[in-house]
Amino acid sequence: MIRSFLLATALACSVPAVAAPARYDGTWSVEIVTEAGSCDRAYRYPVRIENGQVRFVGTAFTVNGQVAHNGAIRGSISSGLSTATVVGRLGANGFGRGTWVASGSFECRGRWNAEKRG
């Protein structure tokens, strides 16, 4: 459960505005690293972006949001009694990074890195 929650944390994006251009669409490999708290240390998971909408390949989470034109990511994800906020940026060069903070059942925070794979 903690592993899946961390994956979803890295995927959560919510930015008001228009959907991002197609350059961000595709499969991204996301590495999640916990820097403080009781969440698992590190994991890597695939995520999909389609028409600027970020989604987790699975059903265990509620992911809200999209990628802005400039690649900015700001949003939230929830699973059970836990919610995580995520901020960061995807680059047109196929890499991205940011931070996350979880609260609720899991109290932890860390960073994430992403690489576009397709």
Tokens matching residue 61: 């989470």
- For 93, other C-beta atoms within 10 Å of its C-beta total 10
How much is the mean pLDDT over the chain? 79
pTM above 0.85, yes or no: no
pLDDT cut 70: percent of the chain above it: 75
Q: Residue type for 112, please?
A: W
User: What does residue 7 show for φ and ψ, rounded to 5 degrees?
Assistant: -60, -50
pLDDT digit string, tens, across residues 66-91:
799 999 987 777 778 888 888 999 99
Tokens matching residue 70: 């400039």
Alpha-carbon distance of 90 to 59, in angstroms, equals 24
* Residue 92 near residue 85 (C-beta atoms within 8 A): no
